[in-house]
Chains A and B, each alone.
Chain A
């Protein structure tokens, strides 16, 4: 079974801190995605990557950046955390041409 692992289940950070959310998949998937999930708004795409060192903006990239130095790892970076970035963050991966995403368990980030 494909596994997508997110490094932290719960995180509490202070406003202005730089925050790293890590995601690792173990099935050699080309495509990786970062979403945030908020009540009533569903999942919204922040950034995605189709290959190593490649990144593309999703629908809500402001305040975020990403890094994909290795195929299995896709990191989401909050340069200066703000309270409106309090959310559930979900990482997903899929191989090229495949139908479904595999999601990680999510990181619930609270910025205080």
Chain B
């Protein structure tokens, strides 16, 4: 089976850094995804990791350690518009099916 854990909620100040952790236990692994979802909207793709290490994309970075079953999403120079839910998802060994964690709601305060 698949089990993906991430914190329910985090609060941070505008301009700061926030790190959202995701741990997973899955039968097979073929990549980890992060999505951003604003309230009432569809999730949008942020990042993809399949090999260990850090992937940087502007203010957002994502890290993966396959041996530890662990990933994090790092949001730097937080802006008010970053207030959203962040979804961690794992693709299993076969096919394109993704299993999602419960999502982390990030609230950015002025």
Contacts and interface: CB of A to CB of B under 8 A. Distances in A.
> How many A residues are at the interface, by size bracket?
20 to 34
A105 B41 CA distance: 6
Given A99-B31, A103-B44, A105-B42, A94 B96 contact: yes
Contacts of B8: 40
Interface in B14-54: 31, 33, 41-45, 48
A59 B48 CA distance: 23
B96 A96 contact: yes
B43 A40 contact: no
Contacts of A20: none
B98 to A, nearest CB: 7
B42 A50 contact: no
Contacts of B97: 33, 45, 48, 58
Interface in A27-76: 31, 33, 35, 40-45, 48, 50, 58-59
B7 interface: no
13 contacts: A31-B96, A33-B97, A43-B87, A45-B97, A45-B99, A58-B97, A96-B96, A97-B96, A101-B33, A103-B42, A103-B44, A105-B42, A106-B41
